[in-house]
A and B are shown apart, each in its own frame.
Chain A
Amino acid sequence: MKSVPSAYISPESQSPFFAIQLLSETDIIRGCLRGSAQSQRLLYERFAGKMYAVCLRYAHTQADAADILQEGFVKVFTKLGQFQFQGSFEGWVRRIMIHTALRMYQRQRFEMEQSGYEHLPESPVEPEALSLLSEGELLKLINGLPGGYRAVFNLVAIEGYSHAEAAELLEIQESTSRSQLTKARRWLAEQLRLLQKEHVVSTTQD
Chain B
Amino acid sequence: MEQPPNIDQLFRERLHHAEVPPPAFVWPRVAEELRRRRRRFFLWLWLGVGLAGAGVWGLWRVNAGHNSLTGAVKTTRETAVHPTPSNRSITGNTSAAAPLPTLAREKSTSNRSITGNTSAAWVLPNEKAKSQAGTQREASAQVFYPVKKQKQFGRQSALHAAPDPLLLPLLTTKDGSSSVITEISPLAYSAAPLTFLPEIKAGLVLLSPAHSLVLPKAKPFVRKKKQPLKNCYNFAQHPRVWLLDAYAGPSLPQRQLTAMQSESDDYLQQRRNTEKTNWAFHAGVRGSLLFGRHFLLRTGAHYEQMTEVFAYGDPNYIRVLTEQTSHLVDGTWKTVLDTISISYGEHYVKTFNRFGMLEIPLLVGAEFRAGRVGVSVQGGASLNVWFWKRGTILDAGGSPQNFTPGQEDASPVFRHRAGWSATASAQLFYHLRPRLRVFAEPYYSHAFRPLTLASQPVAQHYTIWGLKLGLTKIFD
Report which A residues bind B (CB closer than 8 A): 35, 37, 40-41, 44, 48-53, 56-57, 62, 66, 69-70, 73-74, 77-78, 122, 124-125, 127, 130, 135-136, 138-139, 142, 153, 156-160, 182, 185-186, 188-189, 192
The 6 closest A-B pairs by CB, nearest first: A49-B19, A157-B8, A52-B22, A185-B3, A53-B18, A53-B20
Q: How far is the CA of A124 from the CA of B3 in the complex (A)?
A: 8
Residues of B near A35 (CB, < 8 A) are 38
- Ordered by A's residue number, 24 sampled pairs between the chains whose C-beta atoms are within 8 Å are A37-B31, A40-B31, A40-B34, A49-B22, A50-B17, A51-B22, A52-B22, A56-B20, A62-B23, A69-B26, A73-B26, A73-B30, A74-B37, A77-B30, A77-B34, A78-B34, A125-B4, A130-B14, A135-B20, A157-B7, A157-B12, A159-B16, A185-B7, A186-B3
Q: Is the CB of A158 within 8 A of B7?
A: no
Q: How far is the CA of A192 from the CA of B4 in the complex (A)?
A: 14
Q: How far is the CA of A186 from the CA of B3 in the complex (A)?
A: 7
Instruction: Please name the residue on chain A nearest to B12 by beta carbon.
Output: A158
Q: How far is the CA of A138 from the CA of B25 in the complex (A)?
A: 25
Q: Is the CB of B15 within 8 A of A57?
A: yes
Q: Is the CB of B3 within 8 A of A158?
A: no
Residues of B near A136 (CB, < 8 A) are 20
Instruction: Please name the residue on chain A nearest to B34 by beta carbon.
Output: A77
Beyond A49-B22, A50-B17, A158-B15, whether A125 also contacts B33 by CB under 8 A is no
User: B37 contacts which of A52, A78, A139 (Cβ < 8 Å)?
Assistant: A78
User: B1-51: which residues lie under 8 A (CB-CB) from chain A?
Assistant: 1-4, 6-8, 10-12, 14-23, 25-27, 29-31, 33-34, 37-38
Q: How far is the CA of A160 from the CA of B17 in the complex (A)?
A: 13
Q: Is the CB of B34 within 8 A of A53?
A: no
Report which B residues bind A (CB closer than 8 A): 1-4, 6-8, 10-12, 14-23, 25-27, 29-31, 33-34, 37-38
Q: How far is the CA of A124 from the CA of B10 in the complex (A)?
A: 13
A41 → chain B, closest Cβ, in Å? 7
Residues of B near A135 (CB, < 8 A) are 14-15, 18, 20
Among A35, A51, A136, A157: residue with most chain B CB under 10 A: A157
Q: How far is the CA of A78 from the CA of B33 in the complex (A)?
A: 10
User: A122 contacts which of B1, B11, B19, B23 (Cβ < 8 Å)?
Assistant: B1
Q: How far is the CA of A78 from the CA of B38 in the complex (A)?
A: 10
Q: Is the CB of B3 within 8 A of A122?
A: yes
B180 → chain A, closest Cβ, in Å? 56
Q: Is the CB of A44 within 8 A of B27?
A: yes
Q: Is the CB of A189 within 8 A of B3?
A: yes
A80 → chain B, closest Cβ, in Å? 11
A99 → chain B, closest Cβ, in Å? 17
A38 → chain B, closest Cβ, in Å? 11
Q: Is the CB of B15 within 8 A of A125?
A: no
Residues of B near A66 (CB, < 8 A) are 22-23, 25-26
Q: Is the CB of B11 within 8 A of A158?
A: yes
- Count of A-B residue pairs with CB < 8 Å: 101
User: A157 contacts which of B11, B20, B21, B30 (Cβ < 8 Å)?
Assistant: B11
B1 → chain A, closest Cβ, in Å? 7
Q: How far is the CA of A137 from the CA of B17 in the complex (A)?
A: 15
Beyond A52-B19, A188-B7, 17 additional pairs, beta carbon < 8 A:
A44-B30, A52-B22, A70-B29, A74-B33, A74-B34, A122-B1, A125-B6, A125-B7, A127-B10, A135-B15, A138-B14, A139-B15, A139-B20, A157-B8, A158-B15, A158-B16, A189-B7
Q: Is the CB of B7 within 8 A of A49?
A: no
Residues of A near B37 (CB, < 8 A) are 74, 78
Binding site secondary structure of chain B? helix
Q: How far is the CA of A55 from the CA of B279 in the complex (A)?
A: 96
Instruction: Please name the residue on chain B nearest to A160 by beta carbon.
Output: B12
Q: How far is the CA of A24 from the CA of B27 in the complex (A)?
A: 21
Residues of B near A53 (CB, < 8 A) are 15, 18-20
Instruction: Please name the residue on chain B nearest to A124 by beta carbon.
Output: B4
B18 → chain A, closest Cβ, in Å? 4
Q: How far is the CA of A159 from the CA of B30 in the complex (A)?
A: 25
Residues of B near A62 (CB, < 8 A) are 23
A161 → chain B, closest Cβ, in Å? 12
Q: How far is the CA of A78 from the CA of B16 in the complex (A)?
A: 25
User: A49 contacts which of B4, B12, B21, B33 (Cβ < 8 Å)?
Assistant: B21
A78 → chain B, closest Cβ, in Å? 7
Q: Is the CB of B27 within 8 A of A41?
A: yes
Instruction: Please name the residue on chain B nearest to A125 by beta carbon.
Output: B7
A203 → chain B, closest Cβ, in Å? 20
Q: How far is the CA of A52 from the CA of B22 in the complex (A)?
A: 6
Residues of A near B21 (CB, < 8 A) are 48-49, 52
B162 → chain A, closest Cβ, in Å? 57
Residues of B near A192 (CB, < 8 A) are 7
Instruction: Please name the residue on chain A nearest to B4 by beta carbon.
Output: A124
B69 → chain A, closest Cβ, in Å? 48
Q: How far is the CA of A192 from the CA of B3 in the complex (A)?
A: 14
User: B30 contacts which of A50, A52, A74, A138 (Cβ < 8 Å)?
Assistant: A74
Q: Is the CB of B20 within 8 A of A52?
A: yes
Instruction: Please name the residue on chain A nearest to B2 by beta carbon.
Output: A182
B45 → chain A, closest Cβ, in Å? 13
Instruction: Please name the residue on chain A nearest to B19 by beta carbon.
Output: A49
Q: How far is the CA of A56 from the CA of B21 in the complex (A)?
A: 11
Q: Is the CB of B8 within 8 A of A185?
A: yes
Q: How far is the CA of A52 from the CA of B104 in the complex (A)?
A: 82
B20 → chain A, closest Cβ, in Å? 4
Q: How far is the CA of A185 from the CA of B10 in the complex (A)?
A: 12
Instruction: Please name the residue on chain B nearest to A186 by beta carbon.
Output: B3
Q: How far is the CA of A149 from the CA of B137 in the complex (A)?
A: 106
Q: How far is the CA of A52 from the CA of B33 in the complex (A)?
A: 18
Instruction: Please name the residue on chain B nearest to A135 by beta carbon.
Output: B18
Q: How far is the CA of A189 from the CA of B29 in the complex (A)?
A: 38
Q: How far is the CA of A37 from the CA of B28 in the complex (A)?
A: 12
Residues of A near B12 (CB, < 8 A) are 157-158, 160
